[in-house]
Chain A
Amino acid sequence: MDFFIDQLGLLSDGFSVALSLQNMLFLLFGVGIGILVGVLPGLGAANGVAILLPLTFGLEPVTAMIMLTATYWGALLGGSITSILFNIPGEPAALPTTFDGHPMALQGKASEAMALAFSSSAVGAMIGTLLLTFAASWIADFGLRFGAPEYFAIYLLAFASFIGMGGPDPIKTLISIMVGLGLSTIGLDTVSGDVRMTFGLLDLVKGISFMLVVIGMIGIGELLITMESNLELRGVAARMDPRVVLRTIISLPRYWVALIRSAAVGCWMGVLPGSGATIASMMSYGFARRFSANREAFGKGAREGVVSPEAADHAAATSAMLPTLTLGIPGSGTAAVLLGGLLMWGLQPGPMLFVSQPDFVWGLVGSMYLGNLTAVVVVLLSAPLFAAILRIPFAYIGPVILVICMIGAFAITMSLFDIYMTLIFGLLGYLFKKLDYPIAPLVLALILGDQAEESFRQSMILSGGGIGIFWESTLSKVLMTCAALALLGPALIKNRALITSHLRNRG
């Protein structure tokens, strides 16, 4: 009990640091820039924070950190806006939100979708921050137990959670996954040091960023499909009706199961170094669909399909601060940039940080509560602005979206080649959509493929070639079993009548 009281005391000190005028101003500024960056496709939280980093040279470390983390939360929220309104994720972690958020917008429920997204994000963020407040060192120690086999098991689990995503056509889903896996192998191979599958093209040595594929296949592909039948990008009447917003927020507790589950997935992925918000949101969506009573509704505007990924990615983002601060290991890509900032300002992350710099750490934690809530309020207020954009005729907005997609693709690594790649993926995405090949499995395979393969091969190096290593530690045994269940579960349940009768006849 003492422990909790101590932590609360530290937290209240932190609030008093965070609530200074200067820090609050920078918080608002960070949120604003973050939302802007999040809305633009191709510019994710990581770029946004990296861009602002030089501006922080003259600031107090705690102020700088507050601003940058505020940018992080803002970017995640901004990404959801474009996901819902335009079916184009503005931030990688917002991809699953397009699955049900955009259909909801098309059904005239844009306000509701956004209100759901933002309030779930707030809940996820709060849970992640609570974890950071009370469980920091315990969770950090847990994170250390993950070696290569455990990571592989996690990736397998993530994959398994999504394997049902393909829809009715298993062969086309398989093809989609294989294409994604193939694309993920392009580039420099960590384990052997060799360059793979580039066919002599230097620009491919850096691999294919999944953001490219998302912008191209999903963003531009969507545009092409709409254009083909000369439709307009339908301008949904999306006025942010405060009553709808309020009603939606009040209805949130109905989804407490999805919220808790998603926050758990998010916190876990955030705490593990190297995963992060994007994988968290996809996994969470996959689980939500798996465990839902109403599976057919997913993909057509199911509310849980918005609640789950949003809660997860914000939980992941906030809990990614945990290993970053306590171990000096970034819990996500954006956290890696923040870590660089910490080191730049002369702070040494590690268990000592909490002791030697309590003002900084607790000021930051205090700002995480305030920052996330502020960001949600700001985005709720500014969302009508973005909703109004949809009503601009396609003649104007079409080319602007195209140009911004090209800019976004360029900005990933400042490469002209990427612009062409994304346009090619646009055509490919059109073909996929036209002929009913699912795209989501491709994207997931692209994200996970290389990492999973790397972990597998690292495990093989560690075990000298033996597969048994995946069943050595308790942790990996548990994870592998979960993965197996996730893979086989639905098949077992579907056929359980068959199985039970078979068993009965036997016995």
Chain B
Amino acid sequence: MLRLDFEIKRFAAELAFALFLLLIGVAAVTGALQMNVGWRDDGPGAGFFPLLVGLILCAACIVQIVITFKARRALQAPIFNGQAFQNLSGIVVPTALCAAAIPLVGIYVPAAFLLAYFVHRRTERAPLEIAAIAVAVPVALYVLFDLTLEIKLPSGWIF
């Protein structure tokens, strides 16, 4: 079972994020180097700007990391804890599941489930009412998008 009484200090969070962005910068530099990075007489090659951007990003991230260390003492307040994690998971996990299901069953079915889940967890409505709402909304969306605006949304195997 997940221990939900942890705490993350702002310092750690800032550090981790800056490191993450640094990695992105490194990825950008790597990607850029695979292309032409020179400046020939018709101007900079395709890789020139990505390289420049990547390098500046890396430099800025390193500076940010240094700044974070220097301000270590001021950043000891917790910024994230188990409760926040729980709250967030309550939205991230169902949404991720919904999105993962879309290629299989289209968007209307997972949307219905997502709605049902939220209503169930946050209100006191009877299951029948929840089911009614959960079906009505996707149907309304279908009418709006597929019929009126003629945009065919992903429909997976079923619909």
Contact surface of A with B, Cβ cutoff 8 Å: 37, 43, 51, 171-172, 174-175, 178-179, 181-182, 185, 189, 191-192, 194, 196-197, 199, 223-224, 227-230, 393-396, 398-400, 402-404, 406-407, 410-411, 416, 419-420, 423, 427, 430-431, 434-435, 437, 453, 456-457, 459-461, 464-465
Contacts of A197 in B (CB 8 A): 28, 31-32, 50
Contacts of A398 in B (CB 8 A): 91, 118
Interface contact B21-A179, CB-CB below 8 Å: yes
Known pairs A395-B119, A404-B141, A416-B154 / 14 extra A-B pairs, C-beta < 8 Å:
A43-B149, A51-B149, A179-B24, A191-B46, A196-B46, A196-B47, A227-B91, A403-B115, A403-B137, A406-B102, A410-B153, A419-B102, A423-B95, A435-B17
- Which residue of chain B is the closest to A437 with respect to CB atoms? B17
Interface residues of B in 1-58 (CB under 8 A from A): 13-14, 17, 21, 24-25, 27-28, 31-32, 35-36, 39-47, 49-50, 53-54, 56-57
- Which residue of chain A is the closest to B125 with respect to CB atoms? A395
Interface contact B42-A185, CB-CB below 8 Å: no
Interface contact B60-A171, CB-CB below 8 Å: yes
Contacts of A37 in B (CB 8 A): 149
Mask: chain B, 89-106; 1 = CB below 8 Å from A; 0 = not: 011100110110011000
Minimum Cβ distance to chain B for residue A27 (Å): 19
Interface contact A396-B24, CB-CB below 8 Å: no
Minimum Cβ distance to chain A for residue B129 (Å): 11
Q: Can you report 8 residue pairs joining A to B where beta carbons are below 8 Å apart?
A: A185-B50, A196-B31, A196-B46, A196-B50, A399-B115, A403-B141, A430-B88, A465-B41
- Given A185-B49, A191-B46, A461-B43: A435 touches B115 (CB 8 Å cut-off): no
Interface contact A395-B123, CB-CB below 8 Å: yes
- Which residue of chain A is the closest to B49 with respect to CB atoms? A453
Interface contact B40-A465, CB-CB below 8 Å: yes
Contact surface of B with A, Cβ cutoff 8 Å: 13-14, 17, 21, 24-25, 27-28, 31-32, 35-36, 39-47, 49-50, 53-54, 56-57, 60-61, 63-64, 67, 79-80, 84, 87-88, 90-92, 95-96, 98-99, 102-103, 107, 111, 114-115, 117-119, 121-123, 133, 137, 141, 145, 149-151, 153-154
Minimum Cβ distance to chain A for residue B38 (Å): 11
Interface contact A407-B60, CB-CB below 8 Å: no
Interface contact B24-A228, CB-CB below 8 Å: no
Contact of B46 among A51, A189, A400, A427 (CB under 8 A): A189
Contacts of B46 in A (CB 8 A): 189, 191-192, 194, 196
Minimum Cβ distance to chain A for residue B16 (Å): 10
Minimum Cβ distance to chain A for residue B110 (Å): 8
Contact of A399 among B25, B41, B114, B154 (CB under 8 A): B114
- Given A395-B122, A395-B123, A403-B141: A174 touches B56 (CB 8 Å cut-off): yes
- Given A196-B31, A228-B87: A464 touches B102 (CB 8 Å cut-off): no
- Which residue of chain B is the closest to A420 with respect to CB atoms? B99
Interface contact A175-B88, CB-CB below 8 Å: no
Contact of A181 among B53, B96, B98, B145 (CB under 8 A): B53
Contacts of A396 in B (CB 8 A): 115, 118-119, 133
Contacts of B28 in A (CB 8 A): 182, 197
**Interchain CA distance A464-B39 in the complex, whole Å:** 11
Contacts of A224 in B (CB 8 A): 88, 91-92
From B40, B49, B103, name the one whose CB has the most chain A CB atoms within 10 angstroms. Answer: B49
Minimum Cβ distance to chain B for residue A232 (Å): 9
Main secondary structure of the interface of B (DSSP, over half): helix
Contact of A178 among B43, B57, B149 (CB under 8 A): B57
- Given A171-B63, A407-B153: A423 touches B115 (CB 8 Å cut-off): no
From B88, B137, B153, name the one whose CB has the most chain A CB atoms within 10 angstroms. Answer: B88
Contacts of A227 in B (CB 8 A): 87-88, 90-91
- Given A175-B64, A197-B31: A223 touches B91 (CB 8 Å cut-off): yes
Minimum Cβ distance to chain A for residue B88 (Å): 5
**Interchain CA distance A427-B95 in the complex, whole Å:** 12
Interface contact B24-A51, CB-CB below 8 Å: no
Contact of A196 among B35, B151, B153 (CB under 8 A): B35
- Which residue of chain B is the closest to A52 with respect to CB atoms? B149
**Interchain CA distance A407-B91 in the complex, whole Å:** 17
**Interchain CA distance A411-B87 in the complex, whole Å:** 29
Contact of A460 among B35, B44, B57, B145 (CB under 8 A): B44
Contacts of A420 in B (CB 8 A): 99
**Interchain CA distance A37-B129 in the complex, whole Å:** 30
Minimum Cβ distance to chain B for residue A231 (Å): 9
Interface contact A230-B42, CB-CB below 8 Å: no
Contacts of B41 in A (CB 8 A): 464-465
- Which residue of chain A is the closest to B149 with respect to CB atoms? A51
Interface contact B60-A174, CB-CB below 8 Å: yes
Contacts of B87 in A (CB 8 A): 227-230
- Given A398-B91, A407-B107, A453-B49: A178 touches B122 (CB 8 Å cut-off): no
**Interchain CA distance A437-B61 in the complex, whole Å:** 12
**Interchain CA distance A434-B87 in the complex, whole Å:** 15
